[in-house]
Amino acid sequence: MAVARKPVAKAPVAAAPAPKAPVVAKAPVAAAVKPPASVEAAAASVETVLRKTAEQTFAGARDAQEQFRKVVEQSVAQSRVAYDKMKVVAEEATGSLESSYSAASKGVSTFNAKAIDALKSQSDATLEHVKAVMSAKSLGEAIALQSAHARKQFETFSAQAKEMAELAQKIATEASEPLKATFAKGFKA
């Protein structure tokens, strides 16, 4: 069996005395701030101060807004100028590319026509040579015709090759001239 214990009574704890607030000499309120005569006067005073503060704040905001608007307008104006310049340059580049392509197309057509003429003249000369060799009376005459034909074909081919090279150079120069002019103009600007 368990023995019942009697509760032990606790002694009451004494509360510590509250610290005393330091004594501060109070200045008379009337000397520091003059109380308004009435609540309406106080409200009018606060309203006046708030109105002045709001006007100053809004004036500063209007100034900042005006400066921001000017900066944006300047940026837009500069962007327009840059766009206009870029547009002009792009149009000039497009025009020079078109001119260059046109010159190259005409040149290639001329080159092809010259090549066809050269091929035709060589074919005609070869057919004439074959006819001459077939009508030769002796082997010596056929060999002489072959030698003369080879020499003439070599001379013709050399002249045609020189003419074709000059034509190709002229085509390249004419085709690149518009581009050179555009790039030179672009570097001067």
Reported as a single tens digit per residue, the pLDDT across 73-104 is 999 999 999 999 889 888 888 888 888 888 88
pLDDT of 36: 54
Q: Which two tokens stand for residue 14?
A: 């004494």
* pTM > 0.85: yes or no: no
CB 96 within 8 A of CB 178: yes
C-alpha span between 178 and 95 (Å, rounded)? 8
% of the chain beyond a pLDDT of 70: 79
CB 166 within 8 A of CB 160: no
pLDDT digits (tens, 9 = 90+) for 105-141: 999 999 999 999 999 999 999 999 999 999 989 999 9
CB 175 within 8 A of CB 107: yes
**DSSP secondary structure letter of residue 178:** H
Q: Which two tokens stand for residue 70?
A: 């000017």
Q: Which two tokens stand for residue 116?
A: 């066809």
Spatial CB neighbours of 185, under 8 Å, sequence gap ≥ 6: 92
| Residue 169: exposure state from Cβ atoms within 10 A (0-12, 13-18, ≥19) | exposed
Find, among 114, 105, 113, the residue nearest to 174 by Cα. 105
CB 110 within 8 A of CB 167: yes
